């Protein structure tokens, strides 16, 4: 009899309790492994290039160090007039430059260097910026031994979100940003349906972890969203400091493909939860 109780305890009660606890800790149902289907298409094979310096074979090279033919002046729409030499482009006071093409959700790689000769302080030292959709800035700033307000330093989403850490290199050193951006979505009435998000790695270090953008990043205005098309040009800022850029490439992301890679998400969307 004792043996049967012991069996019941270990064979039925304890596993049931564990399952219950596991469900409670998840706070929701889960998909059993045998119900997670494999996507029907194999992941596309691409050549990522050598680590650190390569350009993935499916990326669009926006600047290869030779010319700014993929860019135009943000001032007058004419030719981009930044200095191009020795494999880099340098801000020279002629105004922002914007891409001729427009982009929505994307992965961007960009390398930059603040001036080797340190001049100015705070926002006046090595300031530039990568504006996604011409509106949402990931700050470029010489934040090496340059105390300033935290959400305005290198890798900050300007005046909104400070980076998790300060991974800034020395003035003059080449640095990289790898950024995953998801564009905001607006409903038919032009109201915000989904905020934009950023994930940013600065010199390979995670500094923004899928953060939501509050809206435009003007330094002295309340962030706001105004409806705009899904795809918009990328803009690099001329803040009056001779910041340099090189090796800029972008990979447009495809939301449809993202969903196709996750059939269980598709299944969940097709079968609304019963509440
Ligand atoms: Mg800036």
Q: DSSP label at 123?
A: G
Write the pLDDT tens digit of every residue in 37-82: 777 777 778 787 766 778 999 999 999 999 999 999 999 999 999 9
Cβ-proximal residues to 89 (8 Å cutoff; 6+ apart), any chain: 63, 68, 82, 83, 97, 244, 245, 246
In a domain, 270, yes or no: no
In a domain, 52, yes or no: no
Instruction: With cut-offs at 50, 70 and 90, classify the pLDDT of residue 21.
Output: very low
Rounded to the nearest angstrom, the distance between the alpha carbon of 230 and the centre of ligand 1 is: 23
- How far are the Cα atoms of 43, 60, 63, 97, 140 from residue 103, in angstroms, in the given order? 22, 11, 15, 15, 20
Give φ, ψ of 243 to 5 degrees. -75, 145
CB atoms within 10 A of CB 218: 13
Rounded to the nearest angstrom, the distance between the alpha carbon of 138 and the centre of ligand 1 is: 8
In a domain, 123, yes or no: yes
Rounded to the nearest angstrom, the distance between the alpha carbon of 221 and the centre of ligand 1 is: 15
Among 136, 258, 256, which residue's Cα sits nearest to residue 196?
Answer: 136
In a domain, 120, yes or no: yes
Range in 24-38, 100-114, 156-170, 232-246 with the lowest mean pLDDT: 24-38
How far does Cα 156 stand from its chain's mean position?
A: 12
Can you give the pTM of this predicted structure? 0.82
Among 107, 39, 99, 37, which residue's Cα sits nearest to residue 236?
Answer: 99
Rounded to the nearest angstrom, the distance between the alpha carbon of 141 and the centre of ligand 1 is: 7
In this prediction, residues 88-109 reach a mean pLDDT of 98
Contact by Cβ (8 Å): 177, 170: no
When comparing pLDDT for 118 and 32, which is higher? 118
Percent of the chain with pLDDT over 90: 69
Rounded to the nearest angstrom, the distance between the alpha carbon of 19 and the centre of ligand 1 is: 52
In a domain, 67, yes or no: yes
Rounded to the nearest angstrom, the distance between the alpha carbon of 237 and the centre of ligand 1 is: 6
For the chain, how many structural domains are there in total?
A: 1
Residues β-bridged to residue 63: 248
In a domain, 233, yes or no: yes
Query: Residues 124, 129, 132, CA angle at the centre, nearest 5°?
Result: 155
Rounded to the nearest angstrom, the distance between the alpha carbon of 148 and the centre of ligand 1 is: 13
Rounded to the nearest angstrom, the distance between the alpha carbon of 128 and the centre of ligand 1 is: 4
If you average pLDDT over every residue of the chain, what do you get? 87
Rounded to the nearest angstrom, the distance between the alpha carbon of 20 and the centre of ligand 1 is: 51
Structure tokens at 254: 């495809």
Neighbours of ion ligand 1 (CB under 5 A): 127, 129, 237
Beta-carbon-side half-sphere exposure of residue 232 (alpha carbons within 13 Å) = 17
Rounded to the nearest angstrom, the distance between the alpha carbon of 255 and the centre of ligand 1 is: 29
Among 237, 248, 251, which residue's Cα sits nearest to residue 140?
Answer: 237
Rounded to the nearest angstrom, the distance between the alpha carbon of 93 and the centre of ligand 1 is: 14
Please count the residues of the chain: 275
Give the model's pLDDT for residue 223.
94
Q: Which helix (H) or strand (E) holds 209?
A: strand 205-212
Rounded to the nearest angstrom, the distance between the alpha carbon of 66 and the centre of ligand 1 is: 24
Separation of alpha carbons 153 and 159, rounded Å: 9
Rounded to the nearest angstrom, the distance between the alpha carbon of 162 and the centre of ligand 1 is: 13
Query: Residues 53, 58, 63, CA angle at the centre, nearest 5°?
Result: 55
* CATH number for the domain harbouring residue 120: 2.60.120.560
pLDDT at residue 12 greater than cutoff 60: no
Rounded to the nearest angstrom, the distance between the alpha carbon of 208 and the centre of ligand 1 is: 17
Structural domain of residue 226, as residue ranges? Answer: 60-258
CB atoms within 10 A of CB 239: 17
CB atoms within 10 A of CB 172: 15
In a domain, 16, yes or no: no
Instruction: With cut-offs at 50, 70 and 90, classify the pLDDT of residue 167.
Output: very high
In this prediction, residues 147-154 reach a mean pLDDT of 92
Separation of alpha carbons 16 and 26, rounded Å: 15
Rounded to the nearest angstrom, the distance between the alpha carbon of 153 and the centre of ligand 1 is: 9
Is 213 in a helix, a strand, or coil?
coil
Separation of alpha carbons 273 and 264, rounded Å: 13
In a domain, 215, yes or no: yes
């Amino acid at each position: 009899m004792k043996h049967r109780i012991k069996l019941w305890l270990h064979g039925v009660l304890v596993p049931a309790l564990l399952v219950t606890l596991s469900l409670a800790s998840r706070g929701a149902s889960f998909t059993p492994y045998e119900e997670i289907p494999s996507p029907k298409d194999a992941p596309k094979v691409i050549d990522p290039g050598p680590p650190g310096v390569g350009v993935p074979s499916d990326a669009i090279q926006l600047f290869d160090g030779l010319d700014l033919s993929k860019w135009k002046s943000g001032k007058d729409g004419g030719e981009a007039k930044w200095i191009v030499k020795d494999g880099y482009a340098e801000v020279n006071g002629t105004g922002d430059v914007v891409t001729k093409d427009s982009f929505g959700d994307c992965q961007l790689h960009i390398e930059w260097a603040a001036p080797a000769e340190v001049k100015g302080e705070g926002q006046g030292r090595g300031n530039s910026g990568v504006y996604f959709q011409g509106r949402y800035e990931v700050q470029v700033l010489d934040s090496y031994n340059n105390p300033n307000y935290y959400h305005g330093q290198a890798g900050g989403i300007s005046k909104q979100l400070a980076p998790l850490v300060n991974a800034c290199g020395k003035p003059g050193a080449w640095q990289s940003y790898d950024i995953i951006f998801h564009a905001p979505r607006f409903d038919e009435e032009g109201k915000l349906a989904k905020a934009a998000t950023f994930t940013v790695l600065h010199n390979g270090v995670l500094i923004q972890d899928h953060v939501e953008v509050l809206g435009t990043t003007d330094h002295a205005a309340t962030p706001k969203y105004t409806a705009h098309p899904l795809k918009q040009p990328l803009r690099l800022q001329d803040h009056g400091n001779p910041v340099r850029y090189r090796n800029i490439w972008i990979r447009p992301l495809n939301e449809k493909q993202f969903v196709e890679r996750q059939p269980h998400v598709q299944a969940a969307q097709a079968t609304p939860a019963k509440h």
